[in-house]
């Protein structure tokens, strides 16, 4: 693997070929905010909060660092006025759904996001897909998935799989930035396989 030298926020950073800008930054101790990123999972590129400015061959543009691969002589800026404005807007859009989500609060402080900027539509899920992808990619169970599309998109446990697989796993629970996942799970359990949960309780 050849070494690639790039510049992030004025600092020379060394990376390996195939790494993403986010990984290179993290390796150099430069922090870029993420929401849908997880080191065990394929890059998703959904939340777009890790957006950075890159300059390559005199061409400046915005890309998401969790997907963009490092290249020689790349110049990366992780904080600009525009980036901060976009991150703040993204956070505010998510706060319309999950105004008090624990996983968002630190970033809300950092970027001065206003949880009342947009009309509320409290549905709690921010569609980061961590639960769905973790279950599919790491656990290979596909017990939870996305249904429908666009603004109607929701996470949903598949009762037939969930009844068998979830009770002793629940590894997705701590991944959820809003705690909405647990609610969906409990609801699925109550509706689709209540007896199982009672058995599981009595086993303890």
Q: How far is the CB of 63 from other proteins (least distance, A)?
A: 7
Q: How far is the CB of 98 from other proteins (least distance, A)?
A: 11
**Residue number with CB closer to other proteins (86 or 200):** 86
**Residue number with CB closer to other proteins (126 or 172):** 126
What is the C-alpha separation between 94 and 196, in angstroms, rounded? 34
Q: How far is the CB of 89 from other proteins (least distance, A)?
A: 4
Torsions phi, psi for 104 (to 5 deg): -105, -20
**Residue number with CB closer to other proteins (43 or 103):** 43
**Residue number with CB closer to other proteins (45 or 200):** 45
The residues of the shown chain that bind other proteins, judged by CB under 8 A, are 43-49, 51, 62-64, 67-69, 82, 85-86, 89-90, 93-94, 96-97, 117-119, 121, 126-127, 146, 148-153
Q: How far is the CB of 108 from other proteins (least distance, A)?
A: 15
Of 42, 41, 9, nearest in space to 26 by CA = 9
**Residue number with CB closer to other proteins (96 or 161):** 96
Q: How far is the CB of 139 from other proteins (least distance, A)?
A: 19
Of 133, 143, 137, nearest in space to 168 by CA = 143
Q: Are 162 and 193 in contact (CB under 8 A)?
A: yes
CB-based contacts of 19, cutoff 8 Å, min separation 6: 4, 27, 69, 70
What is the C-alpha separation between 63 and 77, in angstroms, rounded? 11
Q: How far is the CB of 177 from other proteins (least distance, A)?
A: 13
**Residue number with CB closer to other proteins (38 or 127):** 127
Burial class (CB in 10 A: 0-12, 13-18, 19+), 9: middle
Is the CA virtual torsion 151, 176, 173, 190 positive or negative? negative
């Amino acid at each position: 693997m050849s070494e690639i030298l790039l510049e992030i926020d004025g600092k020379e950073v060394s990376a390996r070929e195939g790494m993403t800008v986010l990984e290179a930054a993290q390796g150099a101790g430069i922090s870029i905010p993420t929401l849908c990123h997880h080191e065990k999972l394929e890059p998703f590129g959904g939340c777009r909060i890790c957006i950075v400015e890159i300059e390559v061959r005199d061409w400046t543009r915005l890309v998401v660092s969790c997907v963009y691969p490092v290249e020689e002589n790349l110049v990366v800026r992780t904080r600009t006025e525009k980036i901060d404005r976009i991150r703040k807007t993204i956070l505010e859009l998510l706060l319309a759904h999950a105004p008090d989500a624990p996983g968002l609060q630190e970033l809300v402080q950092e970027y001065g996001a206003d949880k009342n900027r947009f009309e509320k539509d409290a549905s709690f899920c921010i569609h980061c897909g961590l639960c769905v992808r973790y279950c599919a990619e790491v656990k290979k169970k596909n017990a939870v998935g996305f249904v429908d599309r666009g603004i109607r998109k929701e996470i949903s446990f598949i009762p037939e799989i969930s009844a068998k697989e979830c009770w002793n796993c629940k590894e997705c629970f701590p991944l959820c930035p809003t705690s909405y996942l647990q609610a969906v799970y409990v609801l699925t359990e109550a509706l689709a396989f209540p007896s199982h949960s009672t058995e599981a309780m009595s086993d303890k």
